[in-house]
Structure 1
Amino acid sequence: MLYLNIHQLHDRKFKITQIARELKVSRPTIYKYLNMTFEESKEYLEELQGKGKKLDPYRDWIIAWLEEYPHLSAAQIRDWLLERYPDLVVGESTVRAYVKELREIYQIEKKVMVRQYEAIPEQPMGKQLQVDWGETKQKTTEKKEIKLYFIAFVLAHSRYKYMEWQDRPFTTRDAIRCHENAFQFYGGYTEEIVYDQDHLITVSENAGQLILTTEFQSYVIERKFKVHLCRKADPESKGMIENVVKYIKGNFADSRVFSNIEDWNKRALQWLQRTGNQNVHQTTKKRPAEVFPVEKQHLQQVSSLLSYESTNVQSITRNVSKDNTIRYKSNRYSVPLGTYIASDNQVFIEVKLSEPQTLLIRKQLDGDVIAEHRISIEKGKLIQNRNHTRDRSKGIEEAKQRLIPHFKNQERAASYLHEICLRYPRYRRDQLAIIQDAIQKEPKWIEAALFKCIQDRLYNANDFRDVVHHLKSSSIESTAKSNRPVLEQVSKGGILVTTRSLETYTSILGGTQ
């Protein structure tokens, strides 16, 4: 059938590209069949079938799947094969080529699943405000590149926009401050505000029951507006603000040169007045600036700025890892030991941009600096202050001080233990533990052992222990000899011969005198 279809279209003066598009086959395949007779094409197919391919045993399954589900990809086909035949070893490219060939031979066109979107009715005035975040990379006046972050607002009815920029990532407190600024810009706020599932404002969405971050929850209660959180993969409910984010990136930020954040925000407001809120909206066919004065009358009145949101604190929050470090721009920076607490492991960081750039870390927002680091331009590094590491020498010194008083000559003992620690820096604790064990078990012999070890330069805890055992064993043996009942010693040829009394032997044999 493929051979006949190609020749029929070619006879109708279709171009090769048109035939390929019509039949969903490659141009080399078309050229190949055009240069064949009908008999040659039959022989070619028979040859292919006789040659055999790795996936031929699964051919019927694959064809059945493709005919029932034409939209399946080669990757899905491979997954289904592996699910049915776990021992099958086949590469992705092999499956892809095989599926492509079957589609061409059997004319199974891959259908694209198109999602159907439903038109959203226009929101009434004062009903809804949509909010989202974005980021861009801008060239600076110093010919460098900097990353900028912004938050965007749009009134759902009039499409009147507002935005605010920062040269650092947003925190929840930053988001609250920008909300207040937006309310002042609009002269009020709406009944509900629509958000994406952003970590700055929400922890999770528990089957419709929103769990907001503590700070943002307090703000929502204070301002008394309704939060509408978009579901994942649901562009319909927040399409307006997504378009605004794209508009800001593609019109205002595109190719604009950055000098400083104050100037950038000033120019952003000018752009909103000149272009963003002045141009005719493609959906409403109205200018947002002309519709907004009417919608403004339907907004809820806003009081003065809330005190705790109005301050622009140049701090970013970070979580402390179990190893008492934080991450900043692909590096790890240390904090004092004990900073990490499972229930409260958040710190505030502040970046000083003056050379050299410095990172300040605080446990509380307005608290004392607990760590200060010079920011590294490298990546993957651990930047660690010495006073943030465990004072391992303190524990060693305490261990030595516990051992020294057991010796009469404490000065000699201190010198001996110090030398051992110098020779075995990685095993200091083990060495001291061995000596401590010897002291506890045989305190009587440690003084003599210390003298012997220093005399023979045996600076090793195992040697000290062995010397203690040797002295004890020698003493026991010597005591046993001295306790034997000796009557006389007769020298014979230089050899001392001990003569026991008769009573000794009779007592052993159980006899009497």
Structure 2
Amino acid sequence: MKKLEKIVLAHQLKRDGFNVSAIARKCGVSRNTVYTYLGRDFEAAVEWVETLRARKRKLDIYQEVILDWLREHPDLSASQISDWLEERCNFREIGESTVRTYVKELREKYHIPKVLNKRHFEALQELPRGKQMQVDFGELKVKTTDGKTIKIYVIAFVLSHSRYKYVEWQEKPFTTRDVLRCHENAFEFYGGITEEIVYDQDKLMTVSENGGDLIFTEEFQAYKQNRNFRVFLCRKADPESKGKIENVVKFVKYNFGKNRVFHQIETWNEQCLAWLERKGNYQVHNTIKKRPVEVFALEKPHLRKVSLPLSFESNLSYSITRMVHKDNVIKYKSNRYSVPLGTYQPNGENTVYIQVEGEKLFIKASPDGILLATHRLSTNKGKLIKNTHHSRDRSKGIAAYMDTIRTSFHEEEKIQVFLDELHQRYPRYIRDQLQILQKAVKHYKPFIQEALDTCLQKGLWSANDFYDVVKHFSKIQGLQEQVPEDELSGVDVPTELLKQKAALRDIDGYIKILGGV
């Protein structure tokens, strides 16, 4: 509602008998403003409004700049614009509330509505100084100087008492070693460490909650013991338990990072630290109503001192792990790299360690174990990079398999005809067919030639048919089928039980059970 309209409405409501408080509520202004409105008649009000329109304001010289920002980024907040004015225009002569009012008027005048993102917060119990630090990760898509869009990754730290923040960005997803290096940088930034650190259930640090007996990754467990801090691990789907850091990550992404042009990661981190100094740690916090930098000055003496920073800069680290998939490949940067056949074990430990040196990718079974594979890194995405010796020589294997079976028969020409037919009919299952043939040869060798003649004569072109025929001939000759020892799986079963047969129920019994006559 325009000022002149509000003044007219205030006078109308006063004539209708409304008191000042009721008029203030209906007009959406304070009672003091209502007194000002009622103190002016219509002509004086018109003159006063015109004066307001004509007056110059400090932000007018930046009006076009602010409009350009709003048109390019309609979701910009007034707080972010205030920071940009300070950073890019070196303008800090007015308060943030004045910027908020000015931006609101520009949005209304030039019809630039703000894109709103609904956010939910929950109040948490305040903790004593030096008690707790919270850590979390985030990622953000940004525009580069050449117009491309890339994804960058951030780790954020916040002291729960003072809300004092530390942030670090990088261009690739975080590894365990990256996380530990950033911890060391954060401890150096704060000048100490808290008693407890709160984490989400991240695979870089934790393996399992294990009913409260937390299981950490090997490298993080060693680091935790070295630095001697307690870990509080958030339960799944419970963001409220680390609400402070959740808000910090959003604040960093959308107040500092959003709509900012990316040049290089070093410059980006320098800009972020500068933003923390002037904004992230300087702006009055909405909950504690104090500046984090001032509260931190009181909290710092309560932090536990740490020894000299640990080094995590070596590029020869095997902290990056990958799972071996059932097709004996690992995934790395959107590509698949092969490992030798048999590396994957259905019920085994399928974790391998990878190391990147220049353009080479090395895969090991353990940090100090044997080398499983070496690959040249691919710059593409969605590719399968496979070493030739990681594949089975299928043609040689099948041929050797056939030779083994062929030598078991007296008439090799006949068995060759049968084998060729199997290969043609069952190209995908030829190995399975040969295994069935080999089983028949092993258990019923005296009858295999007779069974082969029958199959060729009757056109039975299946290893399963062959097995049934040879088994049939063995029964005719009175030879009981022998149960191979390797098929008993080591179970100690008395011989008498193996010879026993199940009792057969009379057909009348089944009819009675089923309710028949």
Q: State the TM-score, normalized to the length of structure 2.
A: 0.53
Alignment counterpart, residue 404 of structure 2, candidates 402, 405, 416: 402
Q: Distance in 2 between matches of 1:262 and 1:421?
A: 64
One-letter amino acid of the structure 1 residue matched with residue 207 of structure 2:
V
Aligned match of 2:267:
263
Aligned match of 1:300:
304
Secondary structure of 1:164's aligned partner: strand
Secondary structure of 2:302's aligned partner: coil
Q: Distance in 2 between matches of 1:177 and 1:231?
A: 25
Aligned match of 1:217:
221
Aligned match of 1:482:
none
Does 1:157 pair with 2:150? no
Q: 1:396 deviation in Å? A: 2.2
Does 1:347 pair with 2:349? no
Q: Distance in 2 between matches of 1:302 and 1:359?
A: 35
Contact 2:329 2:338 in 1 (8 A): yes
Write the mapping of 1:33-44 to structure 2, written as runs, cut at 5 A: none
Q: 1:250 deviation in Å? A: 0.9
One-letter amino acid of the structure 1 residue matched with residue 373 of structure 2:
I
Aligned residues: 341
Q: Distance in 2 between matches of 1:139 and 1:201?
A: 31
Contact 1:163 1:268 in 2 (8 A): yes
Contact 2:339 2:372 in 1 (8 A): no
Q: 1:185 deviation in Å? A: 1.8
Once the two structures are overlaid, the 10-residue window that deviates more, 183-192 or 419-428, is: 419-428
Contact 1:400 1:414 in 2 (8 A): no
Alignment counterpart, residue 200 of structure 1, candidates 200, 204, 224: 204
Aligned match of 1:283:
287
Q: Distance in 2 between matches of 1:232 and 1:435?
A: 52
Q: Distance in 1 between matches of 2:230 and 2:190?
A: 18
Deviations 1:335-376 (A, max 9, x none): 22122244421123456897xxx7654434476461526354
Q: 1:427 deviation in Å? A: 6.3
Contact 1:432 1:461 in 2 (8 A): no
Contact 1:149 1:166 in 2 (8 A): yes
The CA RMSD measured in Å over matched residues stands at: 4.7
User: Unpaired runs of 5+ in structure 1?
Assistant: 1-114, 470-513
Q: 1:400 deviation in Å? A: 4.1
Contact 1:404 1:413 in 2 (8 A): no
Contact 2:318 2:353 in 1 (8 A): no
Q: Distance in 2 between matches of 1:236 and 1:422?
A: 62
Contact 2:335 2:384 in 1 (8 A): yes
Q: Distance in 1 between matches of 2:266 and 2:246?
A: 25
Deviations 1:239-292 (A, max 9, x none): 221121111101221122233333333333333234322333333343333443
Q: 1:302 deviation in Å? A: 0.6
Q: 1:310 deviation in Å? A: 4.9
Aligned match of 1:387:
389
Does 1:120 pair with 2:103? no
Alignment counterpart, residue 370 of structure 1, candidates 367, 370, 373: 373
Q: Distance in 1 between matches of 2:234 and 2:158?
A: 15
Deviations 1:114-134 (A, max 9, x none): x9955523x322221111111
Q: Distance in 1 between matches of 2:236 and 2:409?
A: 73
Q: Distance in 2 between matches of 1:142 and 1:428?
A: 55
Q: 1:407 deviation in Å? A: 8.9
Q: Distance in 1 between matches of 2:122 and 2:434?
A: 74
Secondary structure of 2:263's aligned partner: coil
One-letter amino acid of the structure 1 residue matched with residue 224 of structure 2:
V
User: Unpaired runs of 5+ in structure 2?
Assistant: 1-119, 471-517
One-letter amino acid of the structure 2 residue matched with residue 391 of structure 1:
D
Q: Distance in 1 between matches of 2:303 and 2:146?
A: 43
Q: Distance in 2 between matches of 1:297 and 1:238?
A: 24
Aligned match of 2:140:
136
Deviations 1:80-124 (A, max 9, x none): xxxxxxxxxxxxxxxxxxxxxxxxxxxxxxxxxxx9955523x32
Q: 1:184 deviation in Å? A: 1.7
Q: 1:194 deviation in Å? A: 1.8
Does 1:179 pair with 2:179? no
Contact 1:120 1:236 in 2 (8 A): no
Contact 1:197 1:230 in 2 (8 A): yes
Q: 1:190 deviation in Å? A: 0.8
Secondary structure of 2:214's aligned partner: strand
Q: Distance in 1 between matches of 2:212 and 2:447?
A: 72
One-letter amino acid of the structure 2 residue matched with residue 229 of structure 1:
L
Aligned match of 2:326:
322
Secondary structure of 1:264's aligned partner: helix
Contact 2:135 2:157 in 1 (8 A): yes
Q: Larger Cα Rg: Structure 1 or Structure 2?
A: 1
- The 1:235/1:402 distance shift into structure 2, 3 A limit, reads closer
Secondary structure of 1:374's aligned partner: coil
Q: Distance in 2 between matches of 1:418 and 1:233?
A: 59
Q: 1:193 deviation in Å? A: 1.2
Contact 1:435 1:461 in 2 (8 A): no
Q: Distance in 2 between matches of 1:384 and 1:164?
A: 36
Contact 2:207 2:217 in 1 (8 A): yes
Percent pairwise identity: 52
Aligned match of 1:505:
none
- The 1:264/1:346 distance shift into structure 2, 3 A limit, reads farther
Contact 1:319 1:345 in 2 (8 A): yes
- The 1:304/1:422 distance shift into structure 2, 3 A limit, reads same
Aligned match of 1:169:
173
Secondary structure of 1:297's aligned partner: helix
Q: 1:318 deviation in Å? A: 1.8
Q: Distance in 2 between matches of 1:249 and 1:344?
A: 38
Q: Distance in 1 between matches of 2:283 and 2:162?
A: 12
Contact 1:161 1:277 in 2 (8 A): yes
- The 1:416/1:185 distance shift into structure 2, 3 A limit, reads same
- The 1:259/1:401 distance shift into structure 2, 3 A limit, reads farther
Q: 1:233 deviation in Å? A: 5.0
Q: State the TM-score, normalized to the length of structure 1.
A: 0.53
